[in-house]
Amino acid sequence: MALVKRKELSLAEKLYLPEIARGLSITLTKMFGKSITRQYPEEPLPTTAVTRGQPRLVERQDGHLACVSCGLCEAACPAYAITIDGQETDRPIEREPERFEIDMLRCILCGFCEEACPKDAIFMSSELELADYDRASLVYGLDQLRRQRPALQRRIDYIHGINERW
């Protein structure tokens, strides 16, 4: 059996009040100082061009989607999240999506669709939040996926930059 020898306390230690004051001062400086916790969701996470959020479709200035429903993203998607049906349009591009669905519950945010697209029509946005009360409403259709180009511009520039380097 080992004997623990009690440490002799100095007078200052015996008084213990200075230590309480020191502890309180730390608490108080942290309380009124710069906070390091994030008030999510009021305060969203910062995103960068590298962030791969949910894929979104680019709407061009003329209000039409850039997508021509070629189905390459659908074929590239490893999670089988995308379903597309095409239709004819009078515009010179001839073909546009009639139905474009991404099952956001299947999507693994891999960005393969963005990489496959020959038309610069689908990009990984910085939108990360996903919540609803039922699964069906998380299968996003054309209306939920379309975003005007400026909303995606940062990512578009980043991807173009990468492609140029290659």
Positions in the binding site for another protein (CB under 8 A): 68-72, 74-75, 83, 85-88, 92-95, 118-119
Burial of 111 (0-12, 13-18, 19+ CB in 10 A): middle
Residue whose C-alpha is closest to residue 107's, from 55, 149, 157? 55
Rounded Cα gap, residues 109 and 147, in angstroms: 17
Within 109-128, the residues that bind ligand SF4 by CB under 6 A are 109-113, 116-117, 119, 121-122
What one-character-per-residue DSSP string does 82-99 give?
EEEEEEE-SSTT-EEEEE
152 contributes a contact to ligand SF4 by CB under 6 A: no
Residue 152's binding partner out of another protein, ligand SF4, none, with CB under 5 to 8 Å set by partner kind: none
Residue 88's binding partner out of another protein, ligand SF4, none, with CB under 5 to 8 Å set by partner kind: another protein
Give 36's contacts (C-beta < 8 A, 6+ positions apart): none
Residue 142's binding partner out of ligand SF4, another protein, none, with CB under 5 to 8 Å set by partner kind: none
Residue pointed to by tokens 């015996």: 14
Closest contact distance (angstroms) between CB of 158 and ligand SF4 is 16
Residues lying near ligand SF4 in the complex (CB under 6 A): 55, 67-73, 76-77, 79, 81-82, 84, 102, 107-113, 116-117, 119, 121-122
